[in-house]
Amino acid sequence: MTAPFILKGKVLSFTGNPFQDDPGAAVRLDEALVVDQGRIVAIGTLSEMRAASPSAGIEDHGDHVLMAGFVDAHAHYPQTAIIASWGKRLIDWLDSYTFPEEMRFADPAYAARIAARYLDLTAAAGTTTVCSYCTIHPASVEAFFAQAKARGQRVVAGKTCMDRNAPKGLRDNAQSAYDDSLALLERWHGRDRLSYAITPRFSPTSTPQQLDALGALWAEHPDCLMQTHLSEQTDEIAWVKELFPNARDYLETYEAHGLLGENGLYGHAIHLNPRERDRLREVGAAVIHCPTSNTFIGSGLFDMAGLISQGHRVGLATDTGGGSSFSMLRSMAAAYEIGQLRGTALHPAQLLWLATVGSARSLRMQDQIGNLAVGAEADIIALDLASTPAIAQRSAEAEDLWEAIFPTIMMGDDRAIAQVWINGQPGSFSGTEND
Ligand code: GUN
Ligand code: ZN
């Protein structure tokens, strides 16, 4: 571990919830913070930090905003190499692009290469925690956790389970899904900064027997997260109705098999009926908004304002590679645009909160990550608010912090991420492999 160090810049932390309080007043700005042994140990003025840690070196980040690294609450690292694949909607996109690519993860060397590439690309984009699906191959989970462990990174991941409606070579069965998931969970969950998520892909690719088996596993390990997809496209919902004729709705296909709970993460959740909305809120489950995916695959417009005002826990995510970007900045921009199409302009503080605190809350990790606070883990980014000429000329006109930040949210990419610290370690991530 490195010696303590002081980061000086515009230290931005959330003191309130910008969906509940005046959004602009939900943050505070400080001058500096101290990092020691992978944690933030003090935040305040530079002179306070010097007094708190007299031997610490000082890194001056000037006008850059120092804030918590982004938390991507739903991604598929195995889809890295097929991001931006043209012309399909959910089911034929899965069949045409996704399943053939996921087949390649039977090769552990390929899985390791893509896991490294994915973690480099996302870190370069300012993402310090991801919650990712893997493939049905246990080796794909091993590869991802091993790469994250080597980086000291906090990630959540799980073996994607499918025992029907997927090609041969991408199907397990109820028993092997249970056995493999359990073995991976026992090996990785709680080790270093790694957490296991029980991962049925979605109801159409699991038999009721497999859903039962994974529901039983979750009941035996209720502290694990469980991630799946819910009500993404209307064709998908119609298919679920055919496959589960006795279920009242899509959510009930999970609920009836023990797969609805407060540690559940339900990706997309666009076309929900009132019962589904009520049940998700009653159990305290998290719904994950995947805006670049929802526009790219043509899925629909998530009801952010309605779900937040009903009291749902909402996280934000890329859904790489159905999502068309690795960047949470791009996800915030798409969330803003979808909000506009639904009549609500999300405040920049709300967008940043969703990409950090909101996603961390959905992963039940808000005490460790997602905000700069004393005692939190030191996953930090330095945001350059003038990273391109187009952004710089706009932010130069800004009259307050939010007007200075919003152009980077809307137009920024990995050039806006001037520096990333993961677990207190500075990194430089090119996104290109060094093998
Ligand atoms: N539904 C089931 N699997 C997937 C997937 O890989 N991506 C998206 N966007 N939706 C899904
Ligand atoms: Zn997904």
Matching residue, tokens 């996603």 = 359
- Report whether residue 145 contacts ligand 1, using a CB cutoff of 6 Å: no
The answer to whether 370 touches 356, Cβ cutoff 8 Å, is yes
CA separation for the pair 258, 172 (Å, rounded): 20
Q: What's the gap between Cα 20 and its chain centre?
A: 22
DSSP E strands in 143-273: the ranges are: 155-158, 160-161, 194-200, 225-230, 264-268
The first and second tokens of residue 236, run together, are 């998908």
- Report whether residue 70 contacts ligand 1, using a CB cutoff of 6 Å: no
Mutation pick for ligand 1 pocket among 96, 98, 318 (CB with most ligand atoms within 8 Å): 98
The first and second tokens of residue 429, run together, are 């991530």
CATH numbers and ranges of domains, the chain: 5-68+370-427 (2.30.40.10), 70-362 (3.20.20.140)
C-alpha distances in Å from residue 275, one per residue of 153, 237, 244, 271: 38, 15, 17, 12
Q: Look at the alpha carbons of 173, 114, 297, 323 in this order and tell me if their dihedral is positive or negative.
A: positive
How is the beta sheet containing 425-427 ordered, strand by strand? 39-44, 27-36, 5-14, 57-68, 380-383, 417-422, 425-427
CA separation for the pair 288, 268 (Å, rounded): 6
Q: What is the pLDDT along the chain (435 residues), one digit of tens a residue?
A: 579 999 999 999 999 999 999 998 999 999 999 999 999 999 999 999 999 999 999 999 999 999 999 999 999 999 999 999 999 999 999 999 999 999 999 999 999 999 999 999 999 999 999 999 999 999 999 999 999 999 999 999 999 999 999 999 999 999 999 999 999 999 999 999 999 999 999 999 999 999 999 999 999 999 999 999 999 999 999 999 999 999 999 999 999 999 999 999 999 999 999 999 999 999 999 999 999 999 999 999 999 999 999 999 999 999 999 999 999 999 999 999 999 999 999 999 999 999 999 999 999 999 999 999 999 999 999 999 999 999 999 999 999 999 999 999 999 999 999 999 999 999 866 544 544
pTM value is: 0.98
The answer to whether 293 touches 319, Cβ cutoff 8 Å, is yes
- CA of 256 relative to ligand 2 center, distance in Å: 22
Rg (C-alpha) for the chain, rounded Å, is 21
User: Closest Cα to atom 11, ligand 1: which residue?
Assistant: 229
- CA of 103 relative to ligand 2 center, distance in Å: 17
CA separation for the pair 382, 67 (Å, rounded): 7
C-alpha distances in Å from residue 87, one per residue of 71, 78, 247, 276, 370: 29, 20, 32, 30, 35
- CA of 75 relative to ligand 2 center, distance in Å: 6
Provide the β-strand partners of residue 132: 75, 157
Matching residue, tokens 């790489």 = 320
- CA of 154 relative to ligand 1 center, distance in Å: 23
- Report whether residue 319 contacts ligand 1, using a CB cutoff of 6 Å: yes
CA separation for the pair 423, 190 (Å, rounded): 16
The answer to whether 162 touches 176, Cβ cutoff 8 Å, is no
What count of Cα atoms within 13 Å lies in the side-chain half-sphere of residue 52?
20
The answer to whether 35 touches 8, Cβ cutoff 8 Å, is no
